[in-house]
Structure 1
Amino acid sequence: MIARQSRSFRTTVRTLVSVVGLALLGACATPATRFYTLGTDAEPTIARNTTSPALQIDVRPVKVPAAVARSQLVVQVNPAQVQVLEDDRWSSALPDEIRYALAARVSQQAGASAASAVGRGGEGPVYQVGVDIQRFESWPGSHVLVDAVWSVSRSAGQETLTCHSTVSEPVSDGYQAIVDGHRRAIDAIAAQIAKVVRAFAATAADRPSGPAGASSKTGMTTLSCPPFSGGAQTAVDRAAAPRSGV
């Protein structure tokens, strides 16, 4: 009787050890989730700089294609197929990642010490930035592509300039390389937006004359979309003259 109880006890112990071991192996086999961001270290400083700014940058909520409007990274398998990466995610929703990255970079390049990233308040003109991402593609080991229609409006929407920019950046293998490629693409678009903000600010400070290449018509300043500079593989596809109202 005692022998049977001893064998039963040993069997129960072995079973419990096996179950615990399998659970531990399962836990070890579960990959860790990696989080990525398009933001910069300068974002908190810019967001707090709201005391009597000379101008303010108000980046409106960004539109992105439904296929990539999620927390997971989405990569292209081929032109007709994508893969959703469950263990590689954005630190916040992709539209917010793009919005705050653009706000920080545009504010920096348009005069970060005198700009307020995202939001209104204080004195000075507000330059409203609208961004509609038409394509946001990630091709591992090849390139990333950001195709965006964006606009800059002077305070109260009195004048608006709309541009269409397509940015392609080569990337190496790995998902971190894809994120870095998108950061460079956002940098390129932000540089264009900042140029338009500075041009609008210059014409506001010095009317009726404006920056080089600008002309005046019925009290409005006609500006063109600036070309990309540097070594980025980029193109400006379309430029629309400012219009009155929103």
Structure 2
Amino acid sequence: MMTTRSLMAVFALLLAACASPDPRYYSLAAASGAASGPAAQPARAEPLWIEVAPVRVPERLNRAQLVVGDGADGQLKLLDLSRWSSPLPDEMRDALSQQLQARVGAVDIYQQGLADVTPVYRITTEVVRLDGEVGQRASATIAWTVRRLPDGKVTGGRTVVDVPAPGQVDGLVSAYRQIVGTTADDIAAAMGGLRP
């Protein structure tokens, strides 16, 4: 006959077996001081002020969970245990801002409360397509515009990227970071073309 202590141990094991695992949270922003890509521009006497507007993403991707491809038939699945640390549009905006600031030596004034500062460039971005399969590939088409203020001169383009995403979800998130980095490279080059 089981003792009370044995019954409690069995009960504790059953509870542990029934507990669902905790979700993992991912960010597209690089760790502090770890922005990838070309070396940062040297510091300027006067900062280059930019404004990176919120990024638009397709509604099907605007979820807490990562949305990935599920085979060749075009089906999607939500990874319930793999989540973004903030809404995907915020993840994309923050990562793009971080990458641009590192590449061009700029300061992003978006939501910084700097009322007396006018940005030199305003960047708008829309994710047209962002597809990924765990252990396979990640690809994206990202449309963007750069507007020079105050004269309003505009340039725009599309970044189309397809990169391997080996391993598990970490590899897919790393591939998405590469996509953001390539987009930042293209936007930084466009900003250079708009300089007076």
Out of 15, 18, 26, the position equivalent to 1:36 is 26
* Other-structure match for 1:61: 54
Residue 71 of structure 1, CA deviation: 1.2
Taking only aligned residues, the RMSD between alpha carbons, in angstroms, comes to 2.5
State whether residues 27 and 91 of structure 2, in contact with CA within 8 Å, keep that contact through their aligned partners in structure 1: yes
1:199 aligns with 2:189: no
Measured against aligned partners, the alpha-carbon deviations of 1:126-159 in whole angstroms (never above 9, x if no partner) come to 3110001011111222210111110000114611
Residue 185 of structure 1, CA deviation: 0.9
- The 5-angstrom pairing of residues 16-31 of structure 1 reads 18-27=10-19, 30-31=20-21
* 2:70 aligned counterpart, secondary structure: strand
Q: Which amino acid aligns with 1:118?
A: Y
Rounded Cα–Cα distance in structure 1 between residues aligned with 2:151 and 2:13 = 65
State whether residues 107 and 117 of structure 1, in contact with CA within 8 Å, keep that contact through their aligned partners in structure 2: no
Q: Which amino acid aligns with 1:71?
A: A
Q: Which amino acid aligns with 2:161?
A: V
Out of 166, 170, 176, the position equivalent to 1:182 is 176
Rounded Cα–Cα distance in structure 1 between residues aligned with 2:10 and 2:183 = 56
- The 5-angstrom pairing of residues 152-231 of structure 1 reads 152-156=146-150, 158-201=152-195, 203=196
Rounded Cα–Cα distance in structure 1 between residues aligned with 2:129 and 2:184 = 16
Out of 33, 41, 64, the position equivalent to 1:71 is 64
Residue 198 of structure 1, CA deviation: 2.3
Q: CA separation of 1:154/1:94 partners in 2, compared to 1, >3 Å: closer, same or farther?
A: same
Residue 160 of structure 1, CA deviation: 1.2
Out of 121, 125, 133, the position equivalent to 1:127 is 121
Residue 173 of structure 1, CA deviation: 2.4
* Other-structure match for 1:151: 145
Q: TM-score, normalised by structure 1?
A: 0.66
Q: Which runs of 5+ in 2 are unaligned?
A: 35-44
Rounded Cα–Cα distance in structure 1 between residues aligned with 2:17 and 2:55 = 42
Number of residue pairs matched by the alignment: 182
Rounded Cα–Cα distance in structure 2 between residues aligned with 1:157 and 1:85 = 45
State whether residues 52 and 108 of structure 2, in contact with CA within 8 Å, keep that contact through their aligned partners in structure 1: no
- The 5-angstrom pairing of residues 227-238 of structure 1 reads none
* Other-structure match for 1:93: 87
Percent of matched pairs sharing the same residue: 27
State whether residues 106 and 194 of structure 1, in contact with CA within 8 Å, keep that contact through their aligned partners in structure 2: yes
Q: TM-score, normalised by structure 2?
A: 0.81
State whether residues 51 and 119 of structure 2, in contact with CA within 8 Å, keep that contact through their aligned partners in structure 1: no
Q: CA separation of 1:53/1:104 partners in 2, compared to 1, >3 Å: closer, same or farther?
A: farther
* Other-structure match for 2:40: none
Tell which has more relative contact order, 1 or 2 (C-alpha 8 A, sep 6+): 2
Q: Which runs of 5+ in 1 are unaligned?
A: 1-6, 44-51, 204-246
